């Protein structure tokens, strides 16, 4: 038996699977977020462990015999969070989370201190990453900073509580800005830019490697029959890809959630920081991945549906009916999908959303279509930024809540001019991905057999007529974006 733990931002989810990857039991426990002021997001690390204990208690109650026979477990985690411990292993302050934006100045400071930052890390310094958060602590909470003995990512603090060991994996470590992503090891140069060194960092392993085992006290507390292996684990996106079987350069997955993420594995390291593409290690050896991030994808649909007082199902029906007539598409307004700024390809916190080319003949349906098209074009931006440096992809899967909409998938397929595969609706995602890593870590299972592809529900093909129309509209949309970028900061600061 194998356990997968997914430590998210709002919950901890655990699953218990057998060697055939059948889910025997699962449990989710909610956790809370602190928001002490605008742009600040923190969490008490102790609640990660407490929620995991409650999940384990449930799994044990549901499947006592199977739970006791667990051979290995692994953890997926929300990335980037700065968990700071002193020499006694005690928490120094609440963990600063991935979505915290307080460290913009520290990003500039890091870029100036380390001219090789982008080359080494494969990424631009952004407030979401771990290193700028810790530099913020140095600049604003010096008494806390001087007590730091270890910096852990969220899932690795949970590993520490389960084992007593300080270990991370390459995929999660890629999101710190301290990792030499090509060499898959800590960079002393990047660490020095934040006044830290290797001693402050956990040991690094690959995601499918054995990292440690549970402590005797944990073994006794939960009645495990074995010294349960803890595999290296993964950051949430890499774990989700592993759960979908997206592990090699011929595959990619597009996640259509609140944000939009295009995830594409690769067999060699390369970067495109000019377009704000993330270049990270994947959770399997000798594999990396490129990732574009669109901050407001389905979030735009939720926003406009709430504003119009319609359900998301009604939104897609209205847009579907409207887009059945090609003439409607040709004459539709345009939408800039930047409710929260944008990551890929602009890396611009100031750019904002808006409609363009509205006339007296513009209808509600046309406005809703424009919004979905604008989000689709934003995803196309990320898709093309990744593919500037990527190997050829033969299979592009779509997952997430938005993947349930055939209207969106038809538009998306023609916008990126690529056949897309609608994946099986599964809420296991990262927890299944790391449970698979746990299986591999035992040495009893072959990686290729464990990392099964996601089941296909439907294949969406492109429409040549729609491809031509959307290409022309994308050119105009891109020109509108360029003009908007020139005035974005002035709009915010007027």
Q: List, for residues 35-62, the tens digit of each pLDDT value.
A: 898 888 999 999 999 999 999 999 999 9
Instruction: Specify whether the CB–CB gap between 14 and 4 falls below 8 A.
Output: yes
30-39, 241-250, 286-295, 421-430: range with lowest mean pLDDT: 421-430
* Percent share of the chain, pLDDT over 90: 74
pLDDT for 488 beyond 80: no
pLDDT for 426: 57
Mean pLDDT value across residues 431-446: 96
pLDDT for 422: 85
pLDDT for 351: 83
| pLDDT tens digits for range 345-375 | 988 878 889 999 999 999 999 999 999 999 9
pLDDT for 9: 87
pLDDT for 291: 93
pLDDT for 244: 86
Mean pLDDT value across residues 380-387: 93
Q: Give residue 493's pLDDT band: very low, low, confident or very high (50, 70, 90).
A: low
Q: What is the pTM of this model?
A: 0.87
pLDDT for 82: 97
Q: Average pLDDT over the chain, rounded to whole?
A: 92
pLDDT for 51: 97
12-26, 57-71, 359-373, 380-394: range with lowest mean pLDDT: 380-394
CATH topology for the 245-494 domain = Nucleotidyltransferase; domain 5 (3.30.420)
Q: Give residue 148's pLDDT band: very low, low, confident or very high (50, 70, 90).
A: very high
Pick 2-232's CATH classification: 3.40.50.720, 3.40.960.10, 3.40.720.10, 3.30.420.40.
3.30.420.40
pLDDT for 484: 86
CATH 3.30.420.40 domain position(s) in the chain: 2-232, 245-494
* Percent share of the chain, pLDDT over 70: 98
| pLDDT tens digits for range 101-147 | 899 899 999 999 999 999 999 999 998 899 999 999 999 999 999 99
pLDDT for 249 beyond 90: no
Q: Mind telling me the catalytic residues?
A: 236
């Amino acid at each position: 038996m194998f356990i997968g733990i997914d430590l998210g931002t709002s919950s901890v989810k655990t699953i218990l699977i057998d060697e055939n990857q059948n889910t025997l039991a699962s449990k989710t426990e909610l956790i809370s977020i602190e928001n002490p002021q605008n742009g600040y997001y923190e969490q008490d690390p102790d609640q990660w462990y407490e929620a995991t204990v409650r999940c384990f208690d449930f799994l044990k109650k549901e499947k006592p015999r199977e739970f006791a026979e667990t051979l290995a477990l692994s953890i997926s985690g929300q990335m980037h969070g700065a968990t700071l411990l002193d020499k006694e292993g005690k928490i120094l302050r609440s963990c600063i989370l991935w979505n915290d934006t307080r460290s913009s100045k520290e990003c500039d400071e890091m870029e100036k201190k380390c001219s090789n930052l982008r080359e080494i890390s494969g990424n631009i310094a952004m407030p979401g990453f771990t290193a700028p958060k810790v530099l913020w602590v140095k600049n604003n909470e010096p008494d806390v900073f001087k007590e730091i003995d270890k910096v852990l990512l969220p899932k690795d603090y949970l590993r520490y509580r389960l084992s007593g060991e300080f270990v991370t994996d390459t995929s999660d470590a890629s999101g710190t800005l301290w990792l030499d992503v090509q060499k898959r090891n800590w960079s002393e140069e990047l660490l020095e830019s934040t006044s830290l060194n290797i001693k402050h960092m956990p040991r690094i392993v690959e995601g499918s490697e054995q990292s440690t085992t549970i402590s005797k006290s944990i073994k006794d507390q939960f009645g495990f029959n074995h010294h349960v292996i803890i595999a290296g684990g993964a950051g949430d996106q890499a774990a989700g890809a592993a759960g979908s079987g997206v592990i090699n350069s011929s595959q990619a997955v597009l996640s259509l959630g609140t944000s939009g993420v295009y995830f594409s594995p690769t067999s060699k390291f390369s970067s495109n920081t000019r377009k704000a593409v993330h270049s990270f290690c994947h959770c399997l050896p000798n594999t990396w991945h490129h990732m574009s991030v669109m901050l407001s994808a389905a979030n735009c649909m939720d926003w406009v549906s709430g504003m119009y007082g319609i359900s998301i199902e009604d939104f897609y029906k209205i847009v579907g009916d409207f887009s059945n007539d090609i003439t409607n598409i040709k004459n539709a307004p345009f939408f800039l999908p930047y409710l929260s700024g944008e990551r890929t390809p602009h890396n611009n916190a100031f750019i904002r959303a808006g409609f363009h080319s509205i006339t007296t003949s513009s209808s509600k349906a046309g406005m809703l279509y424009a919004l979905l098209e604008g989000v689709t074009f934003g995803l196309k931006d990320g898709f093309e930024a990744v593919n500037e440096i990527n190997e050829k992809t033969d299979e592009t899967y779509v997952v997430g809540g938005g993947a349930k909409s055939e209207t969106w998938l038809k538009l998306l397929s023609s916008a990126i001019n690529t056949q897309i595969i609608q994946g099986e609706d599964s809420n296991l995602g990262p927890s299944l991905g790391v449970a698979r890593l746990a299986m591999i870590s035992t040495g009893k299972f072959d990686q290729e057999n464990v990392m099964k592809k996601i089941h296909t529900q439907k294949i969406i093909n492109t429409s040549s007529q729609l491809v031509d129309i959307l290409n022309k509209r994308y050119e105009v949309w891109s020109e509108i974006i360029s003009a908007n970028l020139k005035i974005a900061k002035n709009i915010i600061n007027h």
